[in-house]
Amino acid sequence: MAIIEWKKDGTVAVITMNTSENRHNPDFNRAILGTFDEIEGDEEILSVVITSSDAKNWSLGGDLAWISGAMENKEIQAVKDFKYGLGKVFTRILCFPMPVIASINGHAFGDGAIIACACDFRLMKADRGYFCFPEVDINVPFFLPSMFAIVKKAIPYYKLEELVYTGKKAGAKELEESHVIVKACENADVLFKEAIAFARTFTKGRWIFGEHKKMLHKHILEIIEKEDPVFIEAPV
């Protein structure tokens, strides 16, 4: 099974992440970037929904086992390339010329939660799954400066401070109350139906959607371009 697959549902492209934890490593970066390229090539598609084939996890974030192994083997350039790749993934989502909707049908932790925040909208199932930034508990800082800019666009600042400083696990109802997600859905089936229905409401032209996203996210894109490389290239 491919790491990431997608199918067309009318004007909606449904991206499915296919590994048990959907952790981010170089293979994940290449797969999702290639998927977005394919979707953009189909001019009939007007919106994107991202889901997971795993009933438990949407995405648990960075592949710490891969990163630790690369560092132990002194593959420093590989780790740097991975971080640059993450920046490309963020940029692709932030600038993609149509709405990208995270259908969070399981846990979204760390960089997984950040990918969800990079999306334009989020829906989440309420019966199982948490949204969490565990970095404070595992003593691993956010990989890139741009990650904080990305989460600020999706999470009210008071709530972001709580989540980042405490590492608490927030459920869908709590996130709905804080306007982090559009809707807390009863279960996975309802979530998928609601996400697709919501995606179908977008019938705007790609050009105007893309232009608005680039202007709205200009400050984040500048951080990815200017600040992330300084952070990545700093001595280990």
CATH hierarchy code of domain 4-233 = 3.90.226.10
Dihedral, 9, 21, 173, 98 alpha carbons, nearest 10: -40
Q: How many CA atoms lie within 13 A of 202 on its CB side?
A: 24
- How far apart, in whole angstroms, are the C-alpha atoms of residue 201 and residue 199? 5
- Residue 79 is predicted with a pLDDT of 94
Average pLDDT, 10 consecutive residues per value, the chain (236 residues): 94 96 96 98 97 96 92 93 97 98 97 97 96 90 92 97 96 97 97 98 94 97 97 86
Q: What is the pLDDT of residues 212-233, one digit of tens each?
A: 999 999 999 999 999 999 999 9
H helical segments located in 139-217? 145-154, 157-166, 172-177, 188-200, 206-216
148-153, long-range: CB < 8 A, 24+ apart: 149/219, 149/220, 149/223, 150/90, 150/94, 150/114, 150/117, 150/118, 150/220, 151/113, 151/114, 151/117, 153/117, 153/217, 153/220
- Smallest Cα–Cα separation from 211: which of 47, 115, 119, 94? 94
Q: What is the pLDDT of residues 152-197, one digit of tens each?
A: 999 999 999 999 999 999 999 999 999 999 999 999 999 999 999 9
- Residue 200 is predicted with a pLDDT of 97
| pTM of the entire predicted model | 0.95
